[in-house]
């Protein structure tokens, strides 16, 4: 411990290695192929290999092999160990000192900005998956949630296949529109309790530093907009995306949110991504 913590801090002191680590943290619990990391951060494969090697040697990232592909995941054991060392050791055994400067380290459940939980779903285009998620949680969650969706690079129109699926499921599509994430940044924006990314591309991008440090989750899934074939085959891809999101959102809406602390909430959100 005497040497590993300084090593980890040194490794993360390199801006590009830190960028790799932050991407993997945003994508957790996903295992991300090296090629996808390189493309997202615009770095050469050989350069990325050296960054990942340093992060693995420091115990911050793990590597697994899937056939011929190497995949990488944040090592949450190493991350927790590092945070514990900083809070419990550097604060001289008085973690409340650190908490007074960094409220985001508190383990209590997020404080609601109003009587409802504010939830934001993000993807790239805000034309299908995040629109599905917004609509489903609004229907499944009743009056417990204020639900929003946005895109990092939103389309001007909703995907017609997505709209048709929502109509077929009995949802009112009248109020739905594609929105830019910038609408939800600033003093007048809602203070979010939960922020979910539902596509890998959006999760790979640097997201805003949301005020209040909401619980975040990555619920990545295939993009139905990219489905090829006949209209029936494309429609099936949208039906499958809707079904997957409905299962995850039902599991989320069933959580006893007010009874769980921050750590338990984060674990529950990650488990939903893995098991549904």
Per-residue pLDDT of 57-78, as tens digits, reads 999 999 999 888 899 999 999 9
Angstrom distances, CA of residue 44 to CA of 6, 13, 37, 185, 252: 27, 20, 10, 33, 38
Cis amide leading into 13 (omega within 30): no
Beta bridge partners of 196: 121, 217
Return the closest-CA partner of residue 242 out of 147, 141, 161, 176.
161
pLDDT surpassing 90 at residue 232? yes
pLDDT tens digits, 117-152:
999 999 999 999 999 999 999 999 989 999 999 999
Residue pair 193/172 in contact (Cβ under 8 Å)? The answer is no
Cα separation of 158 and 160, whole Å?
Answer: 6
Q: What is the DSSP letter of 41?
A: H
pLDDT tens digits, 6-47:
999 999 999 999 999 999 998 888 899 999 999 989 999 999
Q: What does the block give as tokens for 16? A: 């590009």
Pairing of strands 117-123, 145-151: parallel
What is the CATH superfamily name and number for domain 117-275? Response regulator (3.40.50.2300)
Angle, helix 4-12 to helix 45-57, in steps of 10 degrees: 160
Cα separation of 204 and 228, whole Å?
Answer: 24
Domain spanning 4-104: CATH 1.10.10.10? yes
Cα separation of 78 and 22, whole Å?
Answer: 14
Q: Write down the domain spans for the chain.
A: 4-104, 117-275
Distance of CA 44 to the CA centre of its chain: 25
Q: What is the DSSP letter of 88?
A: I
């Amino acid at each position: 411990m005497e040497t590993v913590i300084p090593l980890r801090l040194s490794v993360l002191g390199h801006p590009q290695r830190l960028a790799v680590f932050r991407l993997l943290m945003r994508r957790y619990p996903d295992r991300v192929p090296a090629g996808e990391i390189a493309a997202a951060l615009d770095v050469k494969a050989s350069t990325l290999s050296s960054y990942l090697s340093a992060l693995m040697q420091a115990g911050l990232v793990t590597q697994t092999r899937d056939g011929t592909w190497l995949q990488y995941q944040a090592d949450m054991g190493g991350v927790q160990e590092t945070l514990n060392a900083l809070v419990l050791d550097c604060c001289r055994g008085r973690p409340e000192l650190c908490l007074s400067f960094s409220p985001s380290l508190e383990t209590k459940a997020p404080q609601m900005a109003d009587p409802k939980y504010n939830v934001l779903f993000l993807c790239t285009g805000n034309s299908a998956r995040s629109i599905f998620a917004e609509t489903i949680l609004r229907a499944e969650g009743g009056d417990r949630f204020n639900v929003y969706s946005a895109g990092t690079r939103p389309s001007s129109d909703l995907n017609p296949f997505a709209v048709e699926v929502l109509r077929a499921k009995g949802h009112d599509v009248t109020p739905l529109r594609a929105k830019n994430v910038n609408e939800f940044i600033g003093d007048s924006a809602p203070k979010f309790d939960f922020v979910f990314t539902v596509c890998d591309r959006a999760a790979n991008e640097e997201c805003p530093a949301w005020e209040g440090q909401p619980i975040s989750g990555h619920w990545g899934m295939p993009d139905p907009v990219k489905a090829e074939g006949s209209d029936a085959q494309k429609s099936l891809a949208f039906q499958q995306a809707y079904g997957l999101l409905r299962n995850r959102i039902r599991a989320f809406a069933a959580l006893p949110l007010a009874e769980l602390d921050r750590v338990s909430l984060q674990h529950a959100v990650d488990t939903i991504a893995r098991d549904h």
